[in-house]
Amino acid sequence: MTGNPQPVIAVISNRNSGHNRDRLGVVAAALDGDPRFRHFITDAAEDIPGVLGMLAGAPLRLLVINGGDGTAAAVFAQLFAHFSLADLPLLALLPGGTANMTAGDVGIYGSLQTALRRLQAWAETGCATEGLIVERHVLRVDPGAQPPRYGMFFGTGVIMQGTAYAHRELHARGLRDDFSLGLGMVRTLWGLVRRDPEFWQPLPVAVRSDVGEALECDALILAVSTLDRLFLGLRPFWGKGAGPLKWSLIEGRARRLLRSFPGILRGRPGRAVVPDAGYHSQRAARIALDMDGSFNLDGEIVAVARAAGPVVITAAGPLRFLRL
């Protein structure tokens, strides 16, 4: 007579994520032959539904995502599509990508190899979870008539020019993680200060949320997130309220931008950072944007048009993450 199967820890690795390109062999070698783990290596987001299908009905102790922000977002989308909230598994994130902002907030601490060792030690010592679980909502973004998308960070305005610069000048040269993101941010800010046309491209946008008045302006920076902190520990949201969506907007007319930026990045703006001076921050449950252009959602670039309808952002979840 056989007993009930023991819960397993499933790991989904994206072969093409930044750090996995040269370290996936180390991850696979560490997990192979360990009966507590089932390791699935994927090549594209289209592989993820098949992996979750193989796990359907299996006793699952933990679902580990080994990839970057885009890989995590792709798994989140499939979880919401195929699981009820009550059946969503406990998650853990390994920093296997080029950008690991989500893992930096809710993932396992350390480099990819350090985080993997922490995960294995946790499994070896009994898989206790008390005091180790954090919850975060996920952004659900409905861009007009396009299918919904999921992620943890939405950005537009100069963020698009900064993203293009980082891909062209930094990631293409092998620079990754917070260091490259920090370099890209400094270069983007310098471009704004100098009004360099490569970066100074304010985006006309209308913003409506379930709190406060509607706003129509030329936005330099518009960011929305459910994370507590972004890369380098930044917290550029200072609005009050109980909503799960944190959003901040800096208008093209904003005064004293260079002087105000350090405080904004820490979530501690000075007295000059007020709506009348072109600075806005709130917490909301729903945001609708009318815009022509594109936005970045955890690395995915999506083009939108006002004529197709608003970009609607709401909160999905929350999801539970193991934080070691």
Bridge partners, residue 130, by sequence:
none
pLDDT in tens, 67-78: 999 999 999 999
Same domain membership, residue 268 and residue 152: yes
> Given the DSSP bridges, would you call strands 91-95 and 60-67 parallel, antiparallel or unpaired?
parallel
Residues 170 and 302 in one domain: yes
Q: For the chain, how many structural domains are there in total? A: 2
Residues 61 and 145 in one domain: no
What are the tens digits of pLDDT across the range 288-316? 999 999 999 998 999 999 999 999 999 99
Which one, of 203, 242, 233, lies nearest residue 219 by Cα?
203
Domain that holds residue 22: 8-128
β-partners of residue 157 are 221
Residues in CB range of 71: below 8 A, 6 or more apart: 12, 14, 17, 45, 65, 96, 97
Residue at 227: amino acid letter: L
Phi-psi region of 131 (alpha: psi -120 to 50; beta: other; left: phi over 0): left
CATH number at residue 34: 3.40.50.10330
Residue 53 within a domain: yes
Say if residues 64 and 90 touch (Cβ distance below 8 Å). Answer: no
Model pLDDT for residues 149-207, shown as the tens digit of each residue? 999 999 999 887 877 776 676 655 666 666 666 677 778 777 777 788 887 888 999 99
Residue 323 within any structural domain of the chain: no
Beta-sheet strands, E only, within 144-192 = 149-151, 153-157
Residue 2 within a domain: no
Query: Running DSSP on this structure, what letter comes out for residue 109?
Result: S
The one-character DSSP state at 170 is I
The pair of structure tokens assigned to 166 is 């980082």
Q: Are residues 168 and 123 in the same domain?
A: no
Task: Return the CATH number at 297.
Answer: 2.60.200.40
The reply to whether 264 and 196 lie within a common domain is yes
Condensed to tens digits (0 to 9), the pLDDT of residues 139-152 reads 999 999 899 999 99
Closest CA to 153 of 136, 138, 133: 138
Specify if 245 maps to a domain.
Answer: yes
Do 177 and 295 have their domain in common?
yes
Q: Within this chain, do residues 156 and 31 fall inside the same structural domain, yes or no?
A: no
Q: Are residues 119 and 144 in the same domain?
A: no
d(CA 319, CA 305): 31
In whole numbers, what is the pLDDT of the chain averaged over residues?
Answer: 90
